Amino acid sequence: MKDYTLLSSIDGPSAIRNLSFDEKEQLAQEVRDYIIEIVAANGGHLAPNLGVVDLIISMLSSLNLPEDSVRGFRCIRCRTSMLRLENSHGSA
């Protein structure tokens, strides 16, 4: 198993927000390497998982989740029941 120095030090979104640009690039590479290692050992879908690494790091760097309202994040976090409830009350 590879040494994931930066990845293992992350304990939440605030830790990512405090990283420099170069550290965020290193974190993204460590996450991709970790995904490749896990998929190689257990099987699974590689490309979609690799494709969202930079997006997730960007979101966690710039948004104050879960406080910020991000429909996709809320959908994932609270499942679709939250969206159904909002739509039944006329919210977009």
Predicted pLDDT at 92:
47
Tell me if 76 sits within 8 A of 59, measured CB to CB.
Answer: no
Nearest to 70 by CA among 48, 25, 58, 7: 58
Supply the pLDDT for residue 66. 64
Q: Which residues contact residue 10 at a Cβ distance below 8 angstroms, ignoring those fewer than 6 apart?
A: 16, 27
> In terms of Cα–Cα distance, which of 68, 80, 9, 2 is closest to 36?
2
Whether residue 77 has pLDDT greater than 70: no
Polymer length of the chain: 92
- Full-model pTM: 0.69
| Number of Cβ atoms within 10 Å of the Cβ of 39 | 15
- CB-CB contact of 37 with 2 (8 Å): yes
Per-residue pLDDT tens over the stretch 4-52: 999 999 988 889 989 999 999 999 999 999 999 999 999 888 888 888 9
Encoded amino acid at 65, one letter: L
According to the model, what pLDDT value does residue 78 have? 55
**pLDDT at residue 73 greater than cutoff 80:** no
